[in-house]
């Protein structure tokens, strides 16, 4: 997240956003009404992952088949699906007053660019271990290292990197901060953790979330999270009380989230991330620990395998869910992303984002 600027906002205006297993970005009012699962559509062939907001725009990381950063006005107009094109497996995203930051899951880096998409640096920070969700405040950048079960932190200029700022966070997927605390998602036990901004007073089970927990977001009064298993978004007060696992219903497989604050605070919180997956993703087995980013069956470090579409005969460059047959939850399951653990010959494993079963052409994620 990032405390970016002061903006007026009404609880009866769209203020909660999520990336969806329907390959769209959804939105709802801060009071949970006016749910719109297709607030921004047409993200295919890319898959929306992390989301962030600032005073004027909503941004998202489009994961595959060719990664990009997209942007639109807060009212959903002027959609640009490739504000920053040709990005390697972007997942988490955060913005501050001057820059866009994103995680590159595949190569363990964090990228940065100007808010207008110029000045792209794909390796602004290196050495992360399957970085997924990320956040930013007025001093630091934060990200989750899913392979090592840690939260990393660095100065805004990319120096002072600490990959083990907070440790022992299970299978982290998403992180967010406000002026007092840092919050994160632990997919392993469907928990939301919390700690002081200096990394002390760690509470690994601050909130017990619902089914297949994904992304997390906060505004000035509440914390929100995605329950993929029930197509719902949960909400609680920032002190962890008044937990409502179905504050917003009908949100198809919500992944990463972002929220605009309540009018009482006027603080714009940009965050997102999530958690992790794409399309139903976060279905990881809780057994074993991710030890490193070694992909399976990779003979050439630069060789990648393209995503596969489950049950689909999809065009190579424009996969359409209309060409898929899904036996269970309808068309949205046809292109379901699965989170799976891959093992390298040396025994190291990582969480891998994959789509389906039918080989297409290239990219291991």
Residue at 37 is within a domain: yes
Which pLDDT value is given to residue 65?
A: 56
Judge whether 1 and 218 are in contact, CB under 8 Å: yes
SS3 at position 288:
coil
Residue at 64 is within a domain: yes
Which pLDDT value is given to residue 205?
A: 96
- The length of the chain is 365
| Other Cβ atoms within 10 Å of 9 Cβ, number | 23
Record the tokens describing residue 349, joined without a space: 């494993």
Which pLDDT value is given to residue 122?
A: 95
Residue at 254 is within a domain: yes
Residue at 307 is within a domain: no
**Dist. CA 116–CA 359, nearest whole Å:** 36
Residue at 48 is within a domain: yes
Strands (E), 213-361: 213-218, 222-227, 232-237, 244-249, 254-259, 267-269, 337-343, 349-355
SS3 at position 323:
helix
Which pLDDT value is given to residue 211?
A: 83
Residue at 7 is within a domain: yes
Q: Is 266 left (phi over 0), alpha (psi -120 to 50) or beta?
A: left
Which pLDDT value is given to residue 13?
A: 61
Q: Which domain holds residue 221?
A: 3-269
SS3 at position 281:
coil
Which pLDDT value is given to residue 47?
A: 83
Which pLDDT value is given to residue 261?
A: 67
Strands 57-62 and 48-53: antiparallel
Number of domains, the chain: 1
Q: For the chain, how long is the longest CA-to-CA vector? A: 55
Record the tokens describing residue 330, joined without a space: 């309808």
Sheet strands side by side (includes 25-29): 36-40, 25-29, 14-20, 254-259
CATH assignment of the domain containing 212 = 2.120.10.30
Give the pLDDT of the chain (365 residues) as one tens digit per residue.
Answer: 332 222 334 444 679 999 998 899 999 999 999 999 999 987 766 789 999 999 999 999 998 756 999 999 999 999 999 999 999 899 999 999 999 999 999 899 999 999 999 999 999 999 999 999 999 999 999 999 999 999 999 999 999 999 999 999 999 999 999 999 999 999 999 999 999 999 999 999 999 988 888 899 999 999 999 999 999 999 999 999 999 999 999 999 999 999 986 543 333 333 333 333 333 333 333 333 333 333 223 233 333 333 332 333 322 322 223 233 322 333 333 333 333 333 333 333 333 333 222 222 222 33
| pTM for this predicted structure | 0.74
Residue at 89 is within a domain: yes
Residue 67 pairs in a beta bridge with 87
Which pLDDT value is given to residue 88?
A: 85
Run of H or E residues at 334: helix 331-334
Q: Is 212 left (phi over 0), alpha (psi -120 to 50) or beta?
A: left
Residue at 294 is within a domain: no
């Amino acid at each position: 997240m990032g405390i970016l600027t002061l903006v007026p906002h009404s609880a009866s205006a769209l203020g909660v956003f999520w990336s969806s297993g329907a390959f769209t970005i959804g939105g709802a009012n801060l009071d949970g009404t006016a749910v719109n699962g297709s607030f921004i559509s047409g993200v295919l062939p890319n898959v929306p992952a992390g989301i962030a907001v600032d005073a004027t725009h909503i941004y998202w990381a489009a994961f595959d088949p060719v990664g990009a950063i997209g942007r639109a006005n807060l009212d959903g107009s002027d959609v640009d699906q490739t504000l920053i094109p040709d990005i390697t497996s972007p997942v988490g995203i955060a913005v501050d007053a001057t820059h866009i930051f994103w995680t590159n899951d595949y190569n363990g880096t964090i990228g940065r660019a100007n808010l207008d998409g110029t000045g792209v640096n794909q390796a602004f920070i290196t050495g992360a271990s399957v970085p997924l969700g990320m956040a930013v405040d007025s001093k630091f950048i934060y990200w989750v290292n899913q392979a090592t079960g840690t939260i990393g932190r660095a100065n805004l200029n990319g120096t002072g990197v600490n990959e083990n700022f907070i440790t022992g966070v299970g299978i982290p997927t998403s992180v967010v901060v406000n002026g007092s605390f840092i919050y994160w998602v632990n997919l392993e036990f469907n928990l939301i953790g919390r700690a002081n901004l200096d990394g002390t007073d760690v509470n690994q089970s601050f909130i017990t979330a619902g089914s297949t927990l994904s992304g997390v977001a906060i505004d000035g009064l509440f914390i929100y999270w995605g329950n993929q298993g029930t197509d719902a978004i949960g909400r609680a007060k920032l002190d962890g009380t008044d937990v409502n696992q179905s504050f917003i219903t009908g949100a198809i497989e919500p992944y990463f989230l972002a929220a605009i604050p309540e009018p009482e605070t006027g603080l714009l919180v940009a965050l997102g991330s999530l958690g992790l997956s794409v399309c139903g993703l976060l279905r990881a087995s809780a057994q074993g620990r991710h030890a490193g980013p070694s992909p399976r069956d990779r003979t050439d470090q630069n060789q990648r395998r393209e995503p596969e579409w489950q049950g689909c005969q999809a065009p190579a460059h424009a996969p359409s869910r209309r060409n898929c047959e899904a036996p269970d939850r309808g068309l949205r399951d046809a292109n379901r992303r699965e989170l799976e653990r891959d093992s390298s010959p040396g025994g190291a494993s990582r969480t891998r984002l994959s789509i389906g079963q039918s080989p297409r052409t290239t990219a291991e994620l």
